[in-house]
Structure 1
Amino acid sequence: MKRIILLSGICALCIQSILAQEKMFVHRSDKITQGVLLSVLDSMTFVNEAVLLHLHDQDAPTYSMTEIDSLSFGDNSLQIKILYSDTGIEIVNPLAFEGVSISVDDGNVIITSTISEEVEYILTGTISNGMFKIYSDKKFILTLNGVNITNADGPAINIQSGKKVTVNLTEGTINTLTDGKKYADSGSEDMKGCFFSEGQLIFNGEGALYVQGNKKHGICSDDYLLVNSGNITITGAASDGIHANDYIRIDGGSVTVTSDSDGLDGDEGYIEINGGKVQITSTSDDVKGIKCDGTFTMNGGEIHMSVSGNQSKGIKTKNDLRINDGTIHIQTTGSVAVVDNDPSYCTGIKCDQTVYIAGGNIIITSTGTAGKGISTDGDLVISGGDVQITTSGNGGTYTNTNSILDSYSATCMKSNGNIHITNGTVTMKSTGSAGKGISADGEIVFGAVNAEGPVVDATTTGAKFLVSGHGENADYANPKAIKCIGDLTSHSGTFTIRCTQDGGEGMESKDVLTINGGIYDIETYDDAINAANQVVINGGYIYCYSSGNDGIDSNGTLTVTGGIVIASGTNSPEEGFDCDRNTFSITGGVLIGTGGSSSTPTSSACSQRSVLYSASSATSGNLINIQDANGTNVFTYKLPRSYQTMTLLFSSADLKANTNYTIYTGGSISGGEDFHGYYTGAVYTPGTKTTTFTTSSMVTTIGSSGGGGGRPGH
């Protein structure tokens, strides 16, 4: 009777307030508050210790007197507040009679919403065994305002709605979600992660969210997932850290993932990074830091990744991969795994289609056996940006699918198709045995016509190793700075290439190697430039120095039409220019070749004169000068090394027909310009007059020079 009198008194005292408010709130003793629109409330009836609310066109809700603590009045709101606690969950539901029903079952809050408006659910508090679960016909907002939910037998957040969910992380708050290792039976409902949604997930706000996925994924959307802001950390996941079926897009905020499987998995969709910071730690074998079947695109932001599992990948996509801007730092330490006689490598970036790099800063470090920096089954196209890759893992042998002993080795940049590098900065360093800098099964193209071109620095320091056989039949895996099976064509750019160990070659093509322009500084142990079928040089500034083999070696023909080309081979039988007695054509440019011997230009294929000069010995740093009868310098060159016996090949348009010339050795030089010992515009003070010659033929031979090159007059 007292409660009835109290409620009646409240109603009488609040008549004036009611007129100014939109809702009456029923505060229940079970800590659930329900709101009723005053505009639909006809009356309240007190019958037999019960309170009946009479609403327009709705069933009359009934409360027992013991259920109601109090009544209050306030404004209408689309916000539903849920305060979690192990001692009881407090809920304020102003939409209880407008389409949002809420029940609580042992810490599990279950919501069914049919309302047409966008409702905001605000979660706070801590519960040690509970859940937030919702069914909603419309999109809604989920605000995490310092909530900590642990669920022993299911997801912490379970959204059984295919509509868009905007997740707000309140600034200054820390929110934690933890699921169980085993889930209770859910019938036909999906529950794929600690934070699961059937619909789209959009994260906003400046708060922090920590998710521990013990059963499967950390965060999972069966639609798409977008991060605009916020600090999201997946502290651990039994499967993927973040998984979305349609796509994952990160425009801002911070995402940190540690997982037993993939870090970010876009499934059959795409992944796009436009801003923010992504940090991923991956330790398991055969997993991916970032993975999608669609296209991976990066337009900004940062990616920092550590990958330590064998045959694991940093970024893996089945479709194209595009990097337009942003920063990528990937460190891999995993090793190769041979599965069914097929090696699978730990790789920084792996793409099944084409890789496009137009900008950004990419740094990849690989320390595992046969590790790869960037590897693509399709083409690799670099038109800008800064790409730095270092591999230090050694190579090894395995038995391939044809039951033949084969080899693998670390490679900074590998394409099963073509590689086109038109601009940007590319720095490759491989220190493991038989390591490669840039390798393509198709063609390699550098630069573009009338363009500045890329800056390329490629270094290998690892030794070759024996794969099979012995003696003359031995098969070695050799280090290579730049190599391709198809044509290698360079239009422009600046190149610094170093290969310090036996077998190390600078630029190698198994077909035709063509240089049309650019600046090249190549120092190797083996051939600096090598081609199986033809070397063609039409321009550029080219310096090739081999400490153990030829400067420039073509197993087919050798053609020079322009440029300044300096090729220094080692002692006999190695040569500055070597084309195995095939046609050696010179129609322009400046050629300087030194070695124990030299191929001889083919007179019938030349329109520019050459001189072959042999000396019984030569000393590093000594000058060789050629001048005409008027004392005009035609050629001044400082020797890059000493020789027991030396053959020098010089060709220039300055060598005129039927003209007398004098060769000086020693002396001094001042002024002018110097390109690796070749001086132009300098003042030469003569040393010792060595010999004279007359250019009475296309190729003039002085001394007993001539090697395994093209034959004069042939």
Structure 2
Amino acid sequence: MLLTSATAVSAASVWGSRSSSMMGTGMTETYAAKTNALSYSDLTGGIVTADDLFSKRDLKQEADLSEASCITVEDGQTISITAEGVYVLTGTAANCTVKIEADKEAKVQLVLDGVSIVNDDFPAIYVVSADKVFVTTTEGSENTLSVTGTFKADGETGTDAVIWSKEDLLLNGKGTLTVTSAKGNGITSKDDLKITGGTLNVTALLDALEANDSIVIYDGNITVSSKKDGLHAENDEDDSIGYIWIGGGTLNVTATDDAIHGTSFVQVDGGTITVSGAEGIEGTYIQINGGEITVYGTDDGLNGANKSSAYETAVEIAGGTLNVTVGQGDTDAIDSNGNIYMTGGTVNITASGSFDYDGTATYTGGTIIVNGQTVNSITNSMMGGMGNMQMGGRH
């Protein structure tokens, strides 16, 4: 996992907060900025780039099969992989696990060529150790992995996903992978989870895609459905990571809670994205640089929330097209517990509350449409009208 040099931050950062004072019958609130946190001036223009995140092999959609080992899955079998290499999986099986326990420097590539595994209570693919594991679908292949019951632990290791990895995990290829988790997560990586190609369908009771350090999407056709979060990245030990980056592909997310949740930041540089959830996109710093994004939220569309001390709490819109529709009631299309910055792009809002911010809104470029009307300011719809609006460069 690589970040730009600007993202090396001190754990001594403190969160931004509100302070309130009563004046007669009114109330004023001010937003206290975080100290030592990366701010808009550090982050604008892109927090991470594709060059930071992907190797040439990551972006290659086919495996080198010249020295590949071929494995046919069988009922009740644990397939143990202990060495670097390429392994082609075929066949249909019940209660079968592909277990990878290789050297810490080993790169292991699993090539799914029409494989189907249905398990009762344990992952279909279980990565204990390796440097990185690739899961690659062959062109035109249909592959299904599912777990029908409650996951059981492996000793002290809690396994809670159909594909569970302690190490970096990358999904790519030219085929289709369908993952179904009746009682847990769909795909979990305790490190980075990367998707660079292929068709991926994930249905899960809990998080559909989960990672500790990051979820990054370069390309692919991805559809996820979750009774919890669609995409969830969070690191309990280091809140400067646990982020989500989307640079391309097609992403459709339906979730009961957050459709996309990156604890530190969420950065969208491209792609066609349609998400639906209580919160559409949530992160401490949300940066929209490109893409065609459609958000349906029953609470907030975009929510810049105080989740990480390492980043300013803000929503930044610098490009792309963002269509946001939210439900009735105490809801907001774009909600920031800190600041809002808009320098470009198009924002099309359908909502009773368009913007809600505790800090400052700065609007210097782009187009804002609220309920069919073009507006030239970011008006705070928060109860009591807190926050300050700043204009620069627009007339």
TM score, norm. by length of structure 2: 0.75
- Stretches of structure 1 that go unaligned for 5 or more consecutive residues are 1-75, 90-105, 335-345, 392-409, 431-436, 438-454, 461-478, 494-517, 519-714
Q: 413, 429, 433: which one pairs with 2:371?
A: 429
Q: Which residue of 2 aligns with 1:695?
A: none
Alpha carbons of 1:109 and 1:78: their partners in 2 closer, same or farther (altered >3 Å)?
farther
Aligned pair 1:82/2:71, yes or no?
Answer: yes
Q: 298, 301, 304: which one pairs with 1:351?
A: 304
CA distance in 1, matches of 2:214, 2:173: 21
CA distance in 2, matches of 1:270, 1:486: 27
Aligned pair 1:416/2:358, yes or no?
Answer: yes
Question: For 1:170-192, what per-residue CA distance to the aligned partner results, in whole angstroms no more than 9, with x for missing partners?
Answer: 11011111013123442123412
> Contact 1:201–1:225 at 8 Å: present in 2 too?
yes
Alpha carbons of 1:489 and 1:324: their partners in 2 closer, same or farther (altered >3 Å)?
closer
CA distance in 2, matches of 1:377, 1:481: 11
SS at match of 1:81: strand
Q: Give the deviation of 1:259 after TM superposition.
A: 0.7
The AA in structure 2 aligned to 1:354 is A
Alpha carbons of 1:355 and 1:489: their partners in 2 closer, same or farther (altered >3 Å)?
closer
Q: Give the deviation of 1:306 after TM superposition.
A: 2.0
Q: Which residue of 2 aligns with 1:264?
A: 231
Q: Give the deviation of 1:484 after TM superposition.
A: 4.8
CA distance in 2, matches of 1:174, 1:212: 14
Percent of aligned pairs with the same residue?
A: 33
> Contact 1:458–1:482 at 8 Å: present in 2 too?
no
Aligned pair 1:177/2:177, yes or no?
Answer: no
The AA in structure 2 aligned to 1:110 is I
CA distance in 2, matches of 1:218, 1:297: 23
CA distance in 2, matches of 1:491, 1:144: 53
Q: Give the deviation of 1:313 after TM superposition.
A: 0.7
Q: Which residue of 2 aligns with 1:372?
A: 332
Aligned pair 1:321/2:291, yes or no?
Answer: no
Question: For 1:218-255, what per-residue CA distance to the aligned partner results, in whole angstroms no more than 9, with x for missing partners?
Answer: 01111101111011111x21210000111010000011
Question: For 1:493-531, what per-residue CA distance to the aligned partner results, in whole angstroms no more than 9, with x for missing partners?
Answer: 4xxxxxxxxxxxxxxxxxxxxxxxx3xxxxxxxxxxxxx
> Contact 1:458–1:481 at 8 Å: present in 2 too?
no
SS at match of 2:129: coil
Question: For 1:456-484, what per-residue CA distance to the aligned partner results, in whole angstroms no more than 9, with x for missing partners?
Answer: 26899xxxxxxxxxxxxxxxxxx979995
Question: For 1:19-45, what per-residue CA distance to the aligned partner results, in whole angstroms no more than 9, with x for missing partners?
Answer: xxxxxxxxxxxxxxxxxxxxxxxxxxx
Q: 81, 89, 95: which one pairs with 1:123?
A: 89
CA distance in 2, matches of 1:324, 1:279: 19
Q: Give the deviation of 1:327 after TM superposition.
A: 1.3
Alpha carbons of 1:458 and 1:421: their partners in 2 closer, same or farther (altered >3 Å)?
closer
Aligned residues: 316
Q: Give the deviation of 1:112 after TM superposition.
A: 4.2
| Root-mean-square deviation over aligned CA pairs | 2.6
Alpha carbons of 1:487 and 1:271: their partners in 2 closer, same or farther (altered >3 Å)?
closer
Alpha carbons of 1:141 and 1:491: their partners in 2 closer, same or farther (altered >3 Å)?
closer
Alpha carbons of 1:194 and 1:491: their partners in 2 closer, same or farther (altered >3 Å)?
closer
> Contact 1:288–1:316 at 8 Å: present in 2 too?
yes
CA distance in 2, matches of 1:181, 1:363: 38
Question: For 1:347-373, what per-residue CA distance to the aligned partner results, in whole angstroms no more than 9, with x for missing partners?
Answer: 111012111111000001113322210
> Contact 2:151–2:160 at 8 Å: present in 1 too?
no
TM score, norm. by length of structure 1: 0.42
Question: For 1:575-597, what per-residue CA distance to the aligned partner results, in whole angstroms no more than 9, with x for missing partners?
Answer: xxxxxxxxxxxxxxxxxxxxxxx
Q: 276, 281, 287: which one pairs with 2:249?
A: 276
Alpha carbons of 1:218 and 1:480: their partners in 2 closer, same or farther (altered >3 Å)?
closer
CA distance in 2, matches of 1:390, 1:180: 39
Q: Give the deviation of 1:215 after TM superposition.
A: 2.8
CA distance in 2, matches of 1:488, 1:208: 47
CA distance in 1, matches of 2:155, 2:381: 58
The AA in structure 1 aligned to 2:232 is D
Alpha carbons of 1:139 and 1:369: their partners in 2 closer, same or farther (altered >3 Å)?
same
The AA in structure 2 aligned to 1:239 is L
Q: 67, 80, 83: which one pairs with 1:111?
A: 80
CA distance in 2, matches of 1:295, 1:486: 22
Counterparts of 1:486-501 in structure 2, within 5 Å, are: 488=389, 490=391, 493=394
Aligned pair 1:154/2:154, yes or no?
Answer: no
> Contact 2:253–2:259 at 8 Å: present in 1 too?
yes
Q: 213, 218, 223: which one pairs with 2:191?
A: 223
Q: Give the deviation of 1:492 after TM superposition.
A: 5.2
